[in-house]
Amino acid sequence: MALNESVANPSPAIPAGGLPAFSAQTRLLVVAPHPDDETIATGLLIQQVLAAGGEVRILLLTAGDNNPWPQRWLERRVWIGAADRQRWGRRRHAEMLQALQCLGVPAQALHTLGWPDMGVTDMLLHAAATAVPTLAAAIHQFRPSLIALPALDDHHPDHGSAHVLVRLALAGQSDPPGLLAYLVHGHACSGSFIEIHGSVVQSANKHEALAAHRSQMALSGNRLRRLAAMPERYLDLLAMPAGSSVPLPWQPPRWLWPWLRLSVVTAAGAQSWRWRQAPLQRDSHGAYHLIASGGMAGTPRFARLALTLPTVWIFDQWGWCLL
């Protein structure tokens, strides 16, 4: 597959401050790390593309099966084994199909990759040679004019890493699709958003779709309903300035250094170091700069800082940045 092959229906650039006009030529691909992300983040966008006669495909990365606390609560169990997780994944898949029906999306529009829940980062750092081509093939097969993907600074590790994987899968395309980044966990660093407001009917459909994700509503219903009631907000990635030689955004305390790992990924692969061994240089202001080497060639380049100590907290403390 040639990654630099242009899409069949290339989209016009997203106008400053807004979305392109949707039409029968619009082909929207929603990249969802877990079941429910498609509804929370893009339920209105999906409906508006379909209303204009466009086509929508949902690319689901994981089954959402490693979701222990709602499962413990609803199934009244403490220990969760492999068979229990598989059953939970099947339940979430069925919920997602019901939610998509509420949004007007046919079941055949759902494409599932079956990657490990809470394992997308490992796919990126240790199996990129398989993960990136797999994702590139799925994107190429649909030929989207517009992709909605998780934001880089989403605090959930599966979300941030999904962003990196999509960007690497698109690297080298001469005519890439429009890219709209959505945020589910945390707060975006940039304040320049595109907002989508739904009609009364579209908003009602989105809330009905959210209610279909019953397993997630059990413990997080109030938070999810608040998210669903807000306008959908997106960052237009192609309109954002490219990365440059700027300091890394992190200055971790010295006492944490032994348990920190810095990773850099490009389309060519990944490299990782303990913080003390990483190729870093500190400037006069105390900020860290990454010293590029031959193994870091290629663009885009992304860096991740992570704590290696085991913890029950699933969200990223530092996460990813674009170099």
Tell me the pLDDT tens digit for each residue of 199-220: 999 999 999 999 999 999 999 9
Extended strands (E) in 101-257? 110-115, 146-150, 178-182, 194-196, 232-236
Q: What is the pLDDT of residues 257-277, one digit of tens each?
A: 999 999 999 988 899 999 999
Nearest to 113 by CA among 58, 38, 55: 58
Distance CA 102, CA 106 (A): 10
- Rounded-to-integer distance, Cα 46 and Cα 247, Å: 37
User: What does the pLDDT look like over 18-58, one tens digit per residue?
Assistant: 677 899 999 999 999 999 999 999 999 999 999 999 999 99
Query: Confidence band (pLDDT; 50, 70, 90) for 13?
Result: very low
**pLDDT grade, residue 177 (50/70/90)?**
very high
Confidence bin at 81 (pLDDT 50/70/90): very high
DSSP 277: G
**Model confidence at 113: pLDDT above 50:** yes
Q: Which two tokens stand for residue 276?
A: 């003390």
The whole-number pLDDT of residue 267 equals 84
Q: Beta-carbon neighbour count of residue 94 at 10 Å?
A: 14
- The whole-number average pLDDT for the span 98-104 is 98
* More confidently predicted of 176 and 2: 176
Which three-class secondary structure state does DSSP give residue 90? helix
Instruction: Give the per-residue pLDDT at 296.
Output: 63
Q: Rg of the chain over CA atoms, in angstroms?
A: 20
CA-nearest of 164, 93, 195, 102 to 316 is: 164
Domain ranges of the chain: 27-239, 254-322
Integer CA distances (angstroms), 25 to 10, 16, 28, 238, 254, in order: 9, 21, 10, 20, 53
Q: Tell me how far apart the alpha carbons of residues 94 and 91 are, in angstroms, rounded to a whole number.
A: 5
pLDDT of residue 16: 47
Average pLDDT, the chain: 90
pTM of the model: 0.91
- pLDDT tens digits for 58-79? 999 999 999 999 999 999 999 9
**What are the structure tokens assigned to 99, written together?**
């939610």
What's the pLDDT at 3? 32
**Residue 294: band (very low, low, confident or very high) from pLDDT cuts 50, 70, 90:** low
How much of the chain, in percent, has pLDDT values that exceed 70? 90
pLDDT band, very low/low/confident/very high, at 241 (cuts 50, 70, 90):
low
Architecture category of domain 27-239 in CATH: 3-Layer(aba) Sandwich (3.40)
Q: Report how far apart, in Å, the C-alpha atoms of 58 and of each of 32, 65, 278 are.
A: 7, 18, 38
Q: How far apart are CA 217 and CA 145, in angstroms?
A: 32
